[in-house]
């Protein structure tokens, strides 16, 4: 094996070990909930559009206040020590885009390599030097609203406290944008999706009221499904975070509820 290949592999292994150690420390600190986590939304013009640019310039912290209220309300329900558990704010606008997300069929090495590149990109372009051990960075691409337009899938990394969100640049869409942001934010602290391959909530953990009789229609959504079940094979997107809750399974995953405490 050529010496430069050995050096390259050794360096990559050292990088992976360093990232793993940092991620472990970050995971422990961010999921202790002894004090609020800071969440920052960094807006990005996803299409280079003047309309989107004007929308981004109109944003302020108040746009995301419903997210704070959602986590405060749910944190009180689960008796979380930190009150509120999460404080969200608007960060500076970014002009650079993160590395393109891997395709759904990408292999594990490609995904791992993308993750490293994304983390390095976030390190370079996050415009402050605060410790990231308790800060969630949410890079939000805004897109113009068009009929039947479907946005690229958003994602939150279980390691790194990083998320990429795709949202619509419209005041009418802000409430549902906040659902997506809260959903991806929860991924960064360990929550898993509660919907199937068709996007339908999975019973029972994807239901806000799995014990309700009659079961359908439900009136609220579990945040990691984000849809309100209307029947066993149909649902609708929640209108806002006021119609969402954090279910017991999700609360366990993010260390708000111990498994033995669940009903």
Looking from the CA of 48 toward its CB, the CA atoms found within 13 Å total: 2
Residue with tokens 């050995």: 6
pLDDT at 134: 77
Query: Over the stretch 13-33, which tens digit does the pLDDT of each residue have?
Result: 665 555 554 555 555 455 679
Confidence at 183, pLDDT banded by 50, 70, 90: very high
Measured in degrees and rounded to the nearest 5, phi and psi for residue 165 equal -120, 140
Across 116-161, the runs of DSSP E, i.e. the strands, are 135-143, 155-156
Domain boundary pick from 190, 216, 248: 190
Contact 182, 240 (CB under 8 A): no
**Do 158 and 174 share a domain, yes or no?**
yes
pLDDT at 188: 94
What is the domain range of residue 78?
A: 3-190
Domain boundary pick from 162, 190, 218: 190
Confidence at 108, pLDDT banded by 50, 70, 90: confident
Residue with tokens 């405060």: 72
**Do 97 and 139 share a domain, yes or no?**
yes
3-state class (DSSP) for residue 248: helix
Domain boundary pick from 175, 190, 205: 190
The candidate with the shortest Cα–Cα distance to 26, out of 157, 142, 212, is 157
**Do 7 and 101 share a domain, yes or no?**
yes
Domain count, the chain: 2
**Do 138 and 38 share a domain, yes or no?**
yes
**Do 176 and 221 share a domain, yes or no?**
no
Q: Helices in the chain by DSSP H: which ranges?
A: 3-30, 50-58, 65-77, 108-125, 174-188, 248-253
Confidence at 34, pLDDT banded by 50, 70, 90: confident
Contacts of residue 150, defined as CB under 8 A and 6 or more positions apart, other chains included, come to none
User: Residue 43: in which H helix or E strand, if any?
Assistant: strand 37-45
pLDDT for 200 beyond 80? yes
3-state secondary structure 76-89: HHCCCCCCCCEEEE
**Do 203 and 173 share a domain, yes or no?**
no
pLDDT at 159: 79
10 against 72, higher pLDDT: 72
**Do 176 and 202 share a domain, yes or no?**
no
């Amino acid at each position: 094996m050529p010496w430069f290949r050995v050096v390259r592999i050794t360096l990559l292994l050292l990088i992976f070990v360093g990232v793993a150690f940092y991620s472990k420390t970050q995971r422990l600190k961010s999921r202790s909930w002894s004090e609020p986590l800071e969440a920052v939304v960094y807006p990005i013009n996803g299409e280079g559009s003047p309309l989107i640019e004007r929308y981004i310039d109109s944003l302020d912290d108040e746009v995301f206040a419903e997210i704070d209220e959602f986590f405060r309300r749910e944190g009180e329900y689960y008796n979380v020590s930190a009150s509120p558990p999460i404080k969200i704010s608007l960060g500076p606008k970014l002009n650079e885009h993160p590395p393109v997300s891997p395709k759904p069929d990408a292999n594990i090495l490609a995904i791992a390599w993308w993750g490293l590149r994304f983390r390095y990109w976030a390190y370079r372009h996050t415009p402050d030097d605060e410790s990231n051990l308790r800060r969630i960075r949410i890079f939000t691409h805004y897109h113009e609203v068009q009929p039947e337009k479907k946005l690229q899938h958003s994602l939150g990394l279980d390691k790194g406290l990083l998320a990429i969100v795709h949202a619509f640049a419209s005041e009418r869409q802000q409430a549902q944008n906040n659902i997506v942001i809260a959903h991806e934010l929860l991924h960064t602290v360990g929550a898993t999706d509660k919907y199937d391959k068709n996007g339908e909530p999975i019973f029972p953990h994807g239901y806000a009221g799995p014990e309700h009789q009659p079961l359908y229609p439900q009136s609220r959504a579990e945040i990691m499904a984000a849809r309100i079940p209307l029947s066993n094979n149909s649902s609708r997107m929640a209108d806002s975070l006021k119609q969402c809750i954090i279910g017991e399974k999700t609360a366990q995953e993010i260390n708000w509820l111990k498994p033995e405490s669940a009903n």
